[in-house]
Every structure is written in structure tokens, then in C-alpha cells.
Amino acid sequence: MKTTDVKGASREAVNHPAHYAAHYRREVIELTGLFDFTTGNSMKYVLRCRFKAHPAEDLQKALWYLNYFADHPEVGFENPRGASEVLGDFLADLGTGEPFGREAGRFLKSLVRAVETPPEDKAGRAALLREASLALQSLLSHAAQSL
């Protein structure tokens, strides 16, 4: 048994629920685990929102975490090694052929670039966070119609 599996738990309900594992070639935690709690949570809510009952609520949670990131420049990577490969897999799975994929990809790329930007570069980081926020706003505006 993998150390991440919970002994005696339903594999589908606890260890690998569909909204965690079935839609991407990697589990979302493989990306979010590379970042601090705040940044990872923002990504998690975007990547899983369209597979849950209330996507707009998850997108609002993502926006809350993004705003927290903007107010706390010390947050960011926990382990940047391998982030570009893992992010690349998610971007490929999201694709660009539909509004969700384009905007979710724009959000992820902008957020990762903001994390990579030194906190001292306040203007650069702020511009990237605005771009991520615009992508989230676009996702929220489409949530009721297309998710």
C-alpha cells in the first residue's frame, strides 16, 4: 500500500476521488504540493472546480487565496524542482480549445510567474497577480453557463 493510501478506506471516496485524479494525467496534489499552502490551494480550487457541484464557489475560494498571496509576499514555492514539468502536464491537459482551458491556463501561468518573481519586484509581481485575477474573474463569469 502506498503511504498516501488510507488503510480500509474506499479507494474512490478517500484515496483517489474522481475530482482529484480522473481528469488529468497527474493528481492535482502533484502540482499543489510544490507550492506553499496558499498558492497550492488557489491552484487546487481552479483545477477541480468544473468537476464539483458548485464551481463558482470553488473559483471564489481560489480568488480568496490569490488575494491572500498578493497581501503576503513571503508565500510561494515550497519545492520548485520539477514545477515546470508538472505545470506543463496540467497546461497540456487543460488545452486551449475552450474558455475554461484558456483561462485556467492563463491563471496558472500567471500565478507561477508571480511566485517566481522576487517579492522586491512589487510592480512585476502585482502585474502578474492582476493577470491571474482577471483570468479568475473570467472563469467566474462563465461558471454559470459553461461549467
Mind spelling out the 3-state secondary structure of the chain?
A: CCCCCCCCCCHHHHHCCHHHHCCCCCCHHHHHCCECHHHHHHHHHHHHHHHCCCHHHHHHHHHHHHHHHHHCCCCCECCCCCHHHHHHHHHHHHCCCCHHHHHHHHHHHHHHHHHHCCCCCHHHHHHHHHHHHHHHHHHHHHHHHHC
pLDDT at 11: 56
Residue 12: band (very low, low, confident or very high) from pLDDT cuts 50, 70, 90: low
- The percentage of the chain sitting over the pLDDT mark of 70, rounded to a whole number, equals 80
Instruction: State the Cα–Cα distance between residues 59 and 102, nearest whole angstrom.
Output: 15
Maximum average pLDDT range among 30-39, 75-84, 138-147: 30-39
Which tops the pLDDT comparison, 12 or 102?
102
Mean pLDDT of 57-82: 85
pLDDT at 88: 93
Q: Is the pLDDT of residue 77 over 80?
A: no
Q: How far is CA 13 from CA 5, 76, 121, in A?
A: 11, 30, 43
Q: Is the pLDDT of residue 17 over 90?
A: no
pTM, whole model, 2 decimals?
Answer: 0.82
Residue 21: band (very low, low, confident or very high) from pLDDT cuts 50, 70, 90: low
Residue 59: band (very low, low, confident or very high) from pLDDT cuts 50, 70, 90: very high
Instruction: State the Cα–Cα distance between residues 25 and 121, nearest whole angstrom.
Output: 34
